[in-house]
Amino acid sequence: MPPEQAKRGEHSVIVVVSDRPDRSQPLVDAVRAVAECRVVGTEETWDRIGPLRGVIADITLSRPEAKRCLRLLTSRSARARTPLICLTRGGGQSGFTEARNLGATLCLSALAEPRMVVGSLVREVWPDKSVADLVVTRETQRAGTLMTNLFASAQTGAVDMSNVEQGVAPVLDAIHEGGLSRWLDEVWAHDDVTFQHCLLVSGVVAAFAQSLGLSAADRQLMTRAALVHDVGKSRIPHAILNKPGRLDDDERAVMQTHAPIGHEILSASGGCDAVTLAVTRHHHEMLDGSGYPDKLCASEIGDPVRLLTICDIYAALIERRPYKAPMSNRDALSILSGMEAKLEGGLVQAFGRAVQAVP
């Protein structure tokens, strides 16, 4: 787990107690969108479960084993008071009274929407956060773990594109739930420059694709390409990759090899689509032919590459590094607008509208 996650104390879990796991699955899915979740049965004694952030009991409270389970929870020694939400069935007040007697801090109907139940728990456990905040944090962590594994495998071997696919939904979900600004706030917390950049680009691409009204399939395609577009940097020496300040000519030449190296890694890995391969190799090409590695120009550069190149440059400008203050959104967009001969003007204008809410 990256250090920044450990600092946030994300080791604690939300526990769902269920006597019907099939019935509770939608609730479990909703909890897992915001936090680590563990599902237990009514036989749970709580002896081997570590720190808890909260408990949701989706059980029939009238059963003896259910009562025993919750009484053991509330009597757990040296336990800070853990928020306990009990879901009750039936409309009588007796169910709520029984739940309160068993230690419930909040009672809700078992017919309540899972997201509403989770929202209620969030207000008890994280009063200063919203469900959207936690979703974005959770999804950023998932995407960060993917990037760690991706670069580790690419350093010496191939990339499993099925694993990359698992990183697409977290980015799209986070952008849909919290918007681009919230995603950027989370990603900026990453210390590793390369990971930060890849996650920035992925979120920016997802937000831009959404703003353009691209189909769900195309949003997935472009987000997947953004996640791996810099995979070639896994084989660039760290002294160059993380050098503070400008690179000299020799170092810049080495750095520029990351694009063809990334293309080579993905080609050798197999199962990679043509758009992702093109984006990986050509995301530093410019319309006037001044880019690299192939000096492509104008019609030789496809629309997906043009789109991602804009997002890539923008992300590089707004990155936060110990030796470099981030550029403001306005200044970054001004630079993009000034690259008239290199970038497609219409796309740059559309991009400005897509990120106008960024500070």
- Distance of alpha carbon 141 from alpha carbon 244, whole angstroms: 26
Please determine, for residue 10, whether its predicted confidence score (pLDDT) is greater than 70: no
**Domain for residue 70, yes or no?**
yes
- Residue 239's H or E segment, with its range, is helix 238-241
Helix, strand, coil share (%) of the chain residues, nearest 5: 55, 10, 35
Average pLDDT, integer, range 49-67:
91
Verify that 115 and 164 share a domain, yes or no.
no
Tokens matching residue 346: 């219409």
- Among residues 140, 145, 165, the alpha carbon closest in space to that of 269 is found at 165
Please determine, for residue 98, whether its predicted confidence score (pLDDT) is greater than 60: yes
79 confidence band (pLDDT: 50, 70, 90) = low
Q: What is the DSSP letter of 299?
A: G
CATH of residue 245's domain is 1.10.3210.10
- Among 233, 243, 295, 342, the one annotated catalytic: 233
Verify that 298 and 322 share a domain, yes or no.
yes
92 confidence band (pLDDT: 50, 70, 90) = low
- Among residues 111, 102, 138, 148, the alpha carbon closest in space to that of 10 is found at 138
233 confidence band (pLDDT: 50, 70, 90) = very high
Verify that 136 and 122 share a domain, yes or no.
no
* Residues 168-218: tens digit of each pLDDT: 999 999 999 889 999 998 888 766 777 788 999 999 999 999 999 999 999
CATH of residue 41's domain is 3.40.50.2300
139 confidence band (pLDDT: 50, 70, 90) = confident
Verify that 225 and 158 share a domain, yes or no.
yes
**Domain for residue 359, yes or no?**
no
**Domain for residue 144, yes or no?**
yes
**Domain for residue 274, yes or no?**
yes
Verify that 192 and 103 share a domain, yes or no.
no
Verify that 313 and 195 share a domain, yes or no.
yes
Which of 128, 153, 188 delimits the end of a domain?
128
Please determine, for residue 99, whether its predicted confidence score (pLDDT) is greater than 60: yes
Q: What percent of the chain has pLDDT over 70?
A: 93
pLDDT score recorded for residue 191: 64
Verify that 37 and 185 share a domain, yes or no.
no
Verify that 106 and 156 share a domain, yes or no.
no
Q: What residues make up the domain containing 321?
A: 132-354
pLDDT score recorded for residue 86: 94
Which of 111, 128, 145 delimits the end of a domain?
128
Task: Establish whether 324 is a catalytic residue.
Answer: no
**Domain for residue 166, yes or no?**
yes
Verify that 167 and 267 share a domain, yes or no.
yes
Please determine, for residue 84, whether its predicted confidence score (pLDDT) is greater than 90: yes
Verify that 145 and 265 share a domain, yes or no.
yes
Q: What percent of the chain has pLDDT over 90?
A: 60
Counted domains in the chain: 2
- Residue 161's H or E segment, with its range, is helix 161-165
Which of 75, 105, 128 delimits the end of a domain?
128
Tokens matching residue 352: 């400005």
128 confidence band (pLDDT: 50, 70, 90) = confident
Q: Phi-psi region for residue 135, left (φ > 0), alpha (ψ -120 to 50) or beta? A: alpha
pLDDT score recorded for residue 130: 86
Measured from the Cβ of residue 277, the count of other Cβ atoms closer than 10 Å reads: 16
Instruction: Among 7-11, 272-276, 288-292, name the one with the lowest average pLDDT.
Output: 7-11
